[in-house]
Amino acid sequence: MRIIDHIPPADRRGGVITTAALHRNGFGKVAIRRAVNRGSLTRIRRGWYRLAQAQESVVSAVRGGGVMSCCSALAFHGVWVLTDHHHVRTSRHASERLHRRTCCHHRRRRAPSRAVDDVDVALDVAMDCLPDDELLIVMESVVDKGLLSLDEVGAMAAGHGRRVTRLAMRMAPAQSGTETILRLAVSALRRAVRCQVPIPGIGRVDLLADGWLILECDSQRWHLDPKAWADDRRRDRKAAAEGFRVIRLTYDDVVLHLPETIQDIMAAIGHPPGRATRRRLATLLGTA
């Protein structure tokens, strides 16, 4: 029988599995030995095996004596992350066997039973690792993806001191990391900016600055979807008819060229619509 057909996905994350998980799913010593002889399993280190389709980054973490954790594990679970460094949770002596570009986290938390940490464990590690903006991106994404609740993230943050607790209090319902990055950059310049704002007759917009400037962060998927592209243009037309102004931004605009992008946004904010238009928009939004 094929091993992959009999092992739950949670027990074989990244194509790596423990001896304990194999035993738990009905594979004894003889069955494991046969699988190794057939090439279905390959021993990585004591207690850990790889399947044929295993991800090399996960295998590397286990071979080095650890497991994938922090933002690497969060990215594996679909969380929006900014860094591309390889993060591994390991013992101190094991870190010497890992690549020099690997970020090693020496934690006494529960011993790993899977090659990729669960979301709560990975986020717990990230709260001690990432700088403020990157951590806020991760926390908002975890909630947006439904992996943890806002209350669960808040409770975790409370165990990490004042910095992380205050950061958790700034969380907003962002649907992408680019929204979070842009919101923080605009608000840092003391401009009012709201996230995921519903506008009657238009729909929900990513960000609304100063009550009249709509900022939309487009993903590559949106560019490749003709219907989404057409819907966005219809929404832009409706927004313009109401008196809003719209700026659409790509991933590169926000992540790679943020200073130039913010300069353009602030220039646009410097030329607001007339007072009557702003008053009418405030009435439409219910903020008058």
- Do both 163 and 219 map to the same domain? no
- Do both 100 and 182 map to the same domain? no
Torsion angle defined by CA atoms of residues 42, 48, 51 and 54, in that order, rounded to the nearest 10 degrees: -110
3-state secondary structure of 187: helix
Give per-residue pLDDT as tens, 150-168.
999 999 999 999 999 999 9
Amino acid 248 reads R
Tally of structural domains, the chain: 3
Give per-residue pLDDT as tens, 180-193.
999 999 999 999 99
Closest CA to 126 of 95, 153, 96: 153
Closest CA to 114 of 146, 86, 73: 73
C-beta separation of 160 from 123 below 8 A: no
Q: How far apart are CA 43 and CA 49, in angstroms?
A: 4
Phi, psi of 36 (to 5 degrees): -65, -45
User: Which CATH number characterizes residue 184's domain?
Assistant: 3.40.960.10
CA 217 to chain centre: 15
Q: Give percent above pLDDT 70 in the chain.
A: 92
Confidence band, pLDDT 50/70/90 cuts, at residue 288:
confident
- Do both 245 and 202 map to the same domain? yes
Q: How far apart are CA 103 and CA 146, in angstroms?
A: 27
How far, in Å, are 227, 236, 278 from residue 284 at the CA level?
Answer: 27, 16, 10
> 43 lies in which domain range?
3-54
Give per-residue pLDDT as tens, 82-105.
987 889 998 765 555 555 566 777
Q: How far apart are CA 116 and CA 154, in angstroms?
A: 23
